Amino acid sequence: KLDLEQTCVDLREQLRGLAADRRLLLAETVAADDYATSAHIPRDRLASLDLVTHSRDDDASTCALCGSVLPQPDPTINALRNSLDRLQHQINGIDAMRPARRAALEGLHQQATRLRSQLRAAEHALQTLTQEDGP
Protein backbone atom coordinates (compact mmCIF):
# COMPACT_ATOMS: atom_id res chain seq x y z
CA LYS A 1 0.00 0.00 0.00
CA LEU A 2 2.86 2.40 0.81
CA ASP A 3 4.45 1.65 -2.55
CA LEU A 4 1.22 2.60 -4.32
CA GLU A 5 0.94 5.81 -2.32
CA GLN A 6 4.52 6.70 -3.25
CA THR A 7 3.80 5.84 -6.88
CA CYS A 8 0.85 8.26 -6.84
CA VAL A 9 3.02 10.98 -5.31
CA ASP A 10 5.74 10.39 -7.93
CA LEU A 11 3.25 10.43 -10.81
CA ARG A 12 1.67 13.68 -9.59
CA GLU A 13 5.13 15.24 -9.33
CA GLN A 14 5.96 14.15 -12.87
CA LEU A 15 2.66 15.61 -14.10
CA ARG A 16 3.45 18.93 -12.40
CA GLY A 17 6.86 18.91 -14.11
CA LEU A 18 5.26 18.27 -17.50
CA ALA A 19 2.76 21.07 -16.88
CA ALA A 20 5.63 23.45 -16.07
CA ASP A 21 7.49 22.38 -19.23
CA ARG A 22 4.33 22.93 -21.27
CA ARG A 23 3.79 26.42 -19.81
CA LEU A 24 7.41 27.31 -20.61
CA LEU A 25 7.14 26.00 -24.16
CA LEU A 26 3.88 27.87 -24.72
CA ALA A 27 5.40 31.08 -23.35
CA GLU A 28 8.40 30.68 -25.67
CA THR A 29 6.05 30.08 -28.59
CA VAL A 30 4.06 33.22 -27.82
CA ALA A 31 7.26 35.28 -27.46
CA ALA A 32 8.66 33.93 -30.74
CA ASP A 33 5.39 34.60 -32.54
CA ASP A 34 5.27 38.14 -31.12
CA TYR A 35 8.84 38.76 -32.27
CA ALA A 36 8.16 37.36 -35.73
CA THR A 37 5.06 39.52 -36.07
CA SER A 38 6.99 42.61 -34.96
CA ALA A 39 9.94 41.78 -37.19
CA HIS A 40 7.79 41.65 -40.31
CA ILE A 41 7.24 45.43 -40.16
CA PRO A 42 10.91 46.49 -40.45
CA ARG A 43 11.55 43.60 -42.83
CA ASP A 44 8.82 44.85 -45.15
CA ARG A 45 10.20 48.39 -44.91
CA LEU A 46 13.72 47.22 -45.67
CA ALA A 47 12.44 45.11 -48.55
CA SER A 48 11.45 48.32 -50.32
CA LEU A 49 15.19 48.88 -50.88
CA ASP A 50 14.86 46.84 -54.04
CA LEU A 51 13.08 49.87 -55.48
CA VAL A 52 16.22 52.00 -55.05
CA THR A 53 18.97 51.91 -57.64
CA HIS A 54 22.36 50.54 -56.72
CA SER A 55 24.31 53.42 -58.27
CA ARG A 56 24.05 55.71 -55.24
CA ASP A 57 25.15 53.13 -52.69
CA ASP A 58 28.76 54.34 -52.48
CA ASP A 59 27.85 57.83 -51.28
CA ALA A 60 26.26 57.60 -47.82
CA SER A 61 26.33 61.40 -47.45
CA THR A 62 23.78 61.80 -50.27
CA CYS A 63 20.13 60.76 -49.99
CA ALA A 64 19.60 57.66 -52.14
CA LEU A 65 16.08 58.76 -53.06
CA CYS A 66 16.33 62.49 -53.80
CA GLY A 67 20.10 63.11 -54.07
CA SER A 68 20.26 65.86 -51.41
CA VAL A 69 23.34 66.15 -49.21
CA LEU A 70 22.78 64.80 -45.69
CA PRO A 71 24.25 66.44 -42.57
CA GLN A 72 25.15 62.97 -41.27
CA PRO A 73 25.64 59.97 -43.53
CA ASP A 74 22.85 57.42 -43.61
CA PRO A 75 23.54 53.70 -43.68
CA THR A 76 24.31 52.56 -47.20
CA ILE A 77 21.79 50.58 -49.16
CA ASN A 78 24.08 47.56 -48.94
CA ALA A 79 24.24 47.92 -45.14
CA LEU A 80 20.45 48.11 -45.03
CA ARG A 81 20.17 45.09 -47.32
CA ASN A 82 22.51 43.20 -44.99
CA SER A 83 20.20 44.14 -42.10
CA LEU A 84 17.26 42.89 -44.15
CA ASP A 85 19.04 39.59 -44.81
CA ARG A 86 19.84 39.12 -41.09
CA LEU A 87 16.28 39.95 -40.11
CA GLN A 88 14.86 37.58 -42.71
CA HIS A 89 17.23 34.85 -41.48
CA GLN A 90 15.94 35.35 -37.91
CA ILE A 91 12.32 35.20 -39.05
CA ASN A 92 13.05 32.05 -41.06
CA GLY A 93 14.64 30.50 -37.97
CA ILE A 94 11.53 31.23 -35.92
CA ASP A 95 9.32 29.80 -38.65
CA ALA A 96 11.51 26.70 -38.85
CA MET A 97 11.12 26.09 -35.11
CA ARG A 98 7.31 25.98 -35.23
CA PRO A 99 7.07 22.30 -36.24
CA ALA A 100 9.57 21.34 -33.53
CA ARG A 101 7.56 23.25 -30.91
CA ARG A 102 4.34 21.59 -32.05
CA ALA A 103 6.04 18.19 -31.87
CA ALA A 104 7.38 18.97 -28.40
CA LEU A 105 3.93 20.05 -27.21
CA GLU A 106 2.42 16.89 -28.67
CA GLY A 107 5.10 14.81 -26.94
CA LEU A 108 4.34 16.51 -23.62
CA HIS A 109 0.63 15.88 -24.16
CA GLN A 110 1.25 12.18 -24.84
CA GLN A 111 3.47 11.86 -21.76
CA ALA A 112 0.87 13.59 -19.61
CA THR A 113 -1.87 11.32 -20.96
CA ARG A 114 0.23 8.25 -20.16
CA LEU A 115 1.05 9.52 -16.66
CA ARG A 116 -2.60 10.37 -15.95
CA SER A 117 -3.60 6.87 -16.99
CA GLN A 118 -0.95 5.37 -14.71
CA LEU A 119 -2.07 7.65 -11.88
CA ARG A 120 -5.72 6.62 -12.30
CA ALA A 121 -4.70 2.95 -12.24
CA ALA A 122 -2.55 3.43 -9.14
CA GLU A 123 -5.28 5.42 -7.37
CA HIS A 124 -7.85 2.76 -8.28
CA ALA A 125 -5.58 0.00 -6.96
CA LEU A 126 -4.96 2.00 -3.79
CA GLN A 127 -8.68 2.57 -3.33
CA THR A 128 -9.36 -1.15 -3.83
CA LEU A 129 -6.72 -2.06 -1.23
CA THR A 130 -8.14 0.48 1.21
CA GLN A 131 -11.66 -0.93 0.77
CA GLU A 132 -10.40 -4.50 1.25
CA ASP A 133 -8.60 -3.53 4.45
CA GLY A 134 -11.85 -2.09 5.76
CA PRO A 135 -12.41 0.89 8.03
DSSP states along 67-93: -PBPSSPPPPHHHHHHHHHHHHHHHHH
Of 103, 124, 110, 128, which is closest to residue 15 (Cα–Cα)? 110
pLDDT tens figures, 4-34: 999 999 999 999 999 999 999 999 999 998 9
Provide the Cα torsion 17, 21, 26, 27; round to 10°. Answer: 100
Beta bridge partners of 69: 62
Q: Identify the pLDDT of residue 59.
A: 65
pTM over 0.75: no
